[in-house]
Structure 1
């Protein structure tokens, strides 16, 4: 089977490059368009959210002005203060007409009430809204409201101030259409000319109607969110998520949309997220949230408004552009294939000359016949071959150097440059064999850092690595040239002591290590204390092989660490203690 020639391969390669270039350009144009559309939609949504928040604040101010108008009317103080008689009855009738007019011209008001300070907060005038219209409640149906916060908190205010209560569900009995609906209460104290507060005027606002009026010019596919200062949803596209605190389970905005947490921490005033760059939070929407001040006197100090728009509607134009890009890419791919064939044929003709020269390149008789003096591409390639031949030896020499470096890395710890476990065990095996032949002694000290994990957790792995390097440097300075110090891994080091040796010398070395590592280390502008626990095993008492010596030293180290860290312990003392303990138990058993 004939393999495809260089012309075919080069044609396919160039065609592939052309297709990839046009395809990637189209793809990134499509992505950029998507990002641009989503960004523009996000900014528009943020503007609409800020506008909705400002409208809400203005509406609150307007309603506060309404409640002040009703509270400052002279007849309000007379009706709230006086008992029912013919004169106050006429005042009450005129005042009731004013209350009724406010209810008639403001569809957001569910209730308008005048509540007296005396008689346990008895309602003197009350108008409710129900499905039939505006209803005046009179006589025995008037209720005592003195126990409610919006009454006694408002009575405590100075005249001219307005109480703005929290947004909640109205659970007062007999509130007609207002019962069970989300409301906002505004109240103002009613004062006599002498300044005495004799009652309050209360307006209950239908939150649903208010938001509907504020968002009348918003597109129908916008989703409205509202949360109080704690993050409880007050308005949510899914009504089951709103007023969770009234249903026994709280649903928080900052848990549903984690990006809004800075709004509740007062770190930001607005947040914009979208499902294109943050699908985990925004899913398939573009969302904007704005924090607005609200109700400084009671309940909520601010509210968070949010508007959402489906991402699919935003990306409609990008999808149309994507279809056009696909057609353009297909056309450009065909053109790229034709141009690649023409270019490959023009390029491979001089390469055939180079093929003949390269075929005889390694023959001894034609080595000097390389076309080195040519000035075209073939001459350049021939000169490259000649330089390559001269550089081979240099590369081989460099390779030997790399092999030596790799051999060093295989036997040494990369971080501290100390011998690693493999090299230490080799040296320990050799030391054991030599000590056995010469009837000498040696010792293994197992060093475990006490507080390294806390340092690593507190300052990070980078500082931890710096601490390990400093520990290795201190151990090298502390020990004589006849000793071997190695890093086994993590925060574990081991020391091999050879030559003239006694048990006292092992304890002395361990004590010096503990004292040295208990001193502060200057690391990155701060001083840290690591500390160490050391276990000692001796040859031949505690082991006759490298593995046994390391295990017994490790066991002694754990006994030392169990004493409270910063101690050293010989394995022979551990065994002696165990034997004494066993003998004591045996004596106790015999006496029994």
Structure 2
């Protein structure tokens, strides 16, 4: 058993440690990129909004159930239908005690009334909120309410149904504490055992108190918005914008946030806005809105509930949180010392251990082992914290692995594993800048497979993919680590040759590639001959930019393919004439296969 008062003391300590733990967790979470932060914040905000909407609907349903309980009591029908007050005085007294009990245990109830069908809707029992308590209105102050919609509309309902009125400002005279406050009314018919409706039970709910209870679990920084089915603000961070229809000027949600119009047109149930994607719609905020039905028997009526969070806190919170963590550690340390003196030395050490662990959240080693074997609340917290730390560390490691994988996939061809066009162009541009700075040369070899289309058509795309993979391996075997080979797409490959002797090596390297690809390739148990045509472009004589070199190498490849040569060199030295210099010829033994036209088996470079 925990000594008297220790639970309260431990609650304070655990709350402080929880803040530190959550702050440390938040610090590392906010280090992700801006898009991921805003997206995650939006999804979390939407979840909180949906949860708040569910709790709002559930609260109304619970209040409706209270109303049904009051109406279903046998005394309710007796009191509502009685013509002789003396005869029902005991029943009325007992029923009044029940009403008083409901008012006592539901601080958000402003009024609870039993109204008779007779006497122009005369109130039979009425309890009004009076400050923190409730008072029963005397017989001389009971009023006739038959002219109000919540009376005559409820009398038209069958027993067991609940009337949910619109949320309005209470302007009824003599309503004590409820007068002038935002009010939601719930009412249900009171029926005799024979089923004849003889009155109604009406409960007035304080909207502000109800939302205060619903918002208890939400962070204080959240802004709450609530609008009825027409868009009138009922709850807004700026109270001057609420209940505009009651002040003669309507302030609508769809005017303040035009993107919410589909919610009121019933074309969507949820909406997310953020200041990054929609700066004109949600300046400086992340917003989430949901549309919820309003009451069990409210027909097509609904409410739109929204939560808002400052965008600055999402994007720059990581930097600000670092300073906050330091201050929080200093404050918590001072409090730990003070509480240790007040609450005994036995509590000091485990709390200091947990504090140190929280401030070094992802550290491998802490000051002392966590008190995982304790059986009290500190032990429970220590075990939960340890699991959370291990889980977060695992998730952070998994996130880093995924990021590395995505970076690799973005720069490499999925099929062959070679660098893709984007990575090759980046390396080529870098090589051109370095060559220009050091007056070096470089060459680009554009490699196009001669018989790939025939193989693809004859054996299918699966074999074609295997051929491309085998070609990639063969190219990597021929080339050295100083060369860069990439796949541009289809059956086109590109090679970058750098260095002072690049232009001298280009022709030799092209000849080696041609001979290597003229040899049979083992593909899925078959031996296939692919062959290749190569175009060579040299820097700087064939182009001063990556695009020019690639285009000229492509043109040289097409020239070599169309004239039956293995490879050719294309350069543009003369202003009006482009010259082609043959650097090699195909082996004669492969001339038995008629070369396909260039446009049939190679895609032009974009």
Change in 2 beyond 3 A, CA 1:257/1:84: same
Deviations 1:69-105 (A, max 9, x none): 1011110011011124333011100000000000000
Instruction: Give me the whole-angstrom Cα distance separating, in 2, the residues matched to 1:140 and 1:321.
Output: 62
Alignment match, 1:315: 315
8 Å contact kept, 1:166–1:300: no
Instruction: Give me the whole-angstrom Cα distance separating, in 2, the residues matched to 1:383 and 1:314.
Output: 52
Alignment match, 2:15: none
Alignment match, 1:285: 285
Alignment match, 1:112: 112
Deviations 1:473-510 (A, max 9, x none): xxxxxxxxxxxxxxxxxxxxxxxxxxxxxxxxxxxxxx
Change in 2 beyond 3 A, CA 1:210/1:376: same
Alignment match, 1:203: 203
Q: Find the partner of 2:439 among 322, 325, 348.
A: 348
1:313-392 map, 5 Å: 313-317=313-317, 319=319, 347-348=438-439, 375=504, 380=538, 384=542, 388=572, 392=576
8 Å contact kept, 1:116–1:198: yes
Shift of 1:297: 4.4
Shift of 1:350: 7.1
Change in 2 beyond 3 A, CA 1:86/1:346: closer
Instruction: Give me the whole-angstrom Cα distance separating, in 1, the residues matched to 2:172 and 2:115.
Output: 15
8 Å contact kept, 2:541–2:573: no
Alignment match, 1:260: 260
Change in 2 beyond 3 A, CA 1:377/1:178: same
Give the structure-1-normalised TM-score.
0.52
Instruction: Give me the whole-angstrom Cα distance separating, in 2, the residues matched to 1:174 and 1:143.
Output: 9
Change in 2 beyond 3 A, CA 1:392/1:205: same
Instruction: Give me the whole-angstrom Cα distance separating, in 1, the residues matched to 2:57 and 2:183.
Output: 16
Any unmatched runs of 5+ in structure 1? 1-29, 324-338, 352-372, 396-592
Instruction: Give me the whole-angstrom Cα distance separating, in 1, the residues matched to 2:175 and 2:540.
Output: 100
Any unmatched runs of 5+ in structure 2? 1-29, 324-429, 443-501, 508-536, 544-569, 580-606
Count of aligned pairs between the two proteins: 330
Answer yes or no: is 1:244 the counterpart of 2:215: no
Deviations 1:275-333 (A, max 9, x none): 1221111111111000001136459710011001111211234557999xxxxxxxxxx
Q: Secondary structure at the match of 1:194?
A: coil
8 Å contact kept, 2:294–2:301: yes
Change in 2 beyond 3 A, CA 1:226/1:300: farther
8 Å contact kept, 1:64–1:162: yes
Deviations 1:152-203 (A, max 9, x none): 0000111111111111111101101110100110001011111111100000
Alignment match, 2:215: 215
Q: Secondary structure at the match of 2:127?
A: strand
8 Å contact kept, 1:128–1:175: yes
8 Å contact kept, 2:441–2:540: no
Instruction: Give me the whole-angstrom Cα distance separating, in 1, the residues matched to 2:440 and 2:571.
Output: 25
Alignment match, 2:44: 44
Change in 2 beyond 3 A, CA 1:151/1:388: same
Change in 2 beyond 3 A, CA 1:42/1:384: closer
Instruction: Give me the whole-angstrom Cα distance separating, in 2, the residues matched to 1:382 and 1:208.
Output: 76
Change in 2 beyond 3 A, CA 1:234/1:381: closer
Instruction: Give me the whole-angstrom Cα distance separating, in 2, the residues matched to 1:269 and 1:46.
Output: 11
Deviations 1:249-269 (A, max 9, x none): 111111111111111111111
Instruction: Give me the whole-angstrom Cα distance separating, in 1, the residues matched to 2:198 and 2:101.
Output: 23
Change in 2 beyond 3 A, CA 1:344/1:32: farther
CA RMSD after TM alignment: 3.4
Shift of 1:113: 0.1
8 Å contact kept, 2:435–2:441: no
Instruction: Give me the whole-angstrom Cα distance separating, in 2, the residues matched to 1:61 and 1:389.
Output: 85
Shift of 1:34: 1.4
Q: Secondary structure at the match of 1:159?
A: coil
